Chains A and B, each alone.
Chain A
Amino acid sequence: MALDPQLLEILACPEDKGPLLYFVDESSLYNPRLKRRYAVRDDIPIMLIDEAETVSDAEHERLLAKAEADGVQPTFSA
């Protein structure tokens, strides 16, 4: 199930407090500035810095391209 769009609007990276990209089909939230990915498990975003995954440059490029292709907008405009 996708997260509620209204609630997504208030979701930020716990580290830099900036907006995230939400990939519904991959159940993840991505911070392109820090190349950090947060998982969404059972509709609960795991917004813990310790549990986030830092992605490779190639994965970063893939996610940016995917955001572009899928029309994924940042959770809010910073």
Chain B
Amino acid sequence: MSASTTASTDFEAIKARQQGTWSSGDYAVIGTTLQLTGELLCEAVDVAAGERVLDVAAGNGNATLAAARRGCEVTASDYVPALLDGARARATSEGLTIDVREADAEALPFADGTFDAALSTFGVMFTPNQAQAATELLRVCRPGGRVGLTNWTPEGFIGQMFKIVGRYAPPPAGLHSPLEWGTEDRLAELFGTGVRSLDAQRRNFVFRYRSPEDWLETFRTYYGPTHKAFGALDDAGQVAFAQDLLSLANEHNTSETGALRISSEYLEVVAVKAG
């Protein structure tokens, strides 16, 4: 994509629509199942008790909870307030105190160098202005601080699912695909000389549902991007979209019991800020 295309992209308008997308459905229903990825990320980042940690696009707070469970002082930020309420409720139920902020990942409300670590599990990857989001992650970390991310890879199951979503609900022109955050090349481009090291590890998260149909229904009802895409299609389109998603699920399903068990690849990233 040329620089001029990027410059003319209306990120604010796209973001406003996106906020609507992630506010639709109820991401928490799916988000909570991904808790393990937040726990593993905190181990990879090796957070220390007492460290100040930011969870960006925190959703209902998987990385937030994982870091708070490890004694960190955690701030959770997201632009969907209902999800933040869920994050706070989860923390409270464990007797943990967290700080929550409604904030935009591309314009974080913190001074430079505030945090020892900035984390995001399947969050920052969906920002429209990727360069700006990467800049903000690094900016709010202290020199030597860590950025820890989990991002779906293009090759993995969720990556493939987004390709189907894109066929039925084409993304706005001029945007990089969120799945590029799941590639080492793009990460090197985004963080550039701002980091002294960048480690990326391929991992798999296993989705488990009662059946492929149960998975489809859950994603159709609760997962913002698929929920919205279904809503924008006519009846015939919805049927075709559902069939394509089911075919994908069946292809990836390794369960032998009629349940759904799908291993979805993601990239676990730990970058250390230069300086």
Contacts and interface: CB of A to CB of B under 8 A. Distances in A.
Interface string B94-106: 0000011111100
A44 B110 contact: no
Nearest to A75: B111
Interface residues of A, number: 26
A14 B103 contact: yes
Nearest to A3: B99
Nearest to A6: B73
A3 to B, nearest CB: 8
A78 B114 CA distance: 12
A42 to B, nearest CB: 8
Contact of A45 (B52, B102, B104): B102
Nearest to A38: B109
Contacts of B84: 44
Contact of B81 (A11, A19, A44): A44
Given A7-B75, A10-B75, A44-B84, A17 B112 contact: yes
Contacts of A48: 79, 102-104, 107
B50 to A, nearest CB: 12
Interface string A1-37: 0001011001111110111000000000000000000
A48 B84 CA distance: 14
B75 to A, nearest CB: 7
Nearest to A39: B102
Contacts of B99: 4, 7
B110 A15 contact: no
Interface string A40-62: 01111111111100000000000
B33 to A, nearest CB: 25
A8 B77 CA distance: 14
Number of contact residues on B: which range applies? 20 to 34
Nearest to B54: A10
A32 to B, nearest CB: 16
B182 to A, nearest CB: 27
Contact of A14 (B52, B100, B104, B114): B104
A56 B118 CA distance: 36
A14 B75 CA distance: 15
A76 B111 CA distance: 9
Contacts of B75: 7, 10
Contact of A50 (B16, B100, B114): B16
Interface of B: 12, 16, 52, 73, 75, 77, 79, 81, 84-85, 99-104, 107-112, 114
Given A44-B81, A47-B102, 18 more contacts: A4-B99, A6-B73, A10-B52, A10-B75, A10-B110, A10-B111, A12-B109, A12-B111, A14-B108, A17-B111, A19-B111, A47-B77, A47-B101, A48-B107, A49-B107, A50-B12, A50-B16, A78-B111
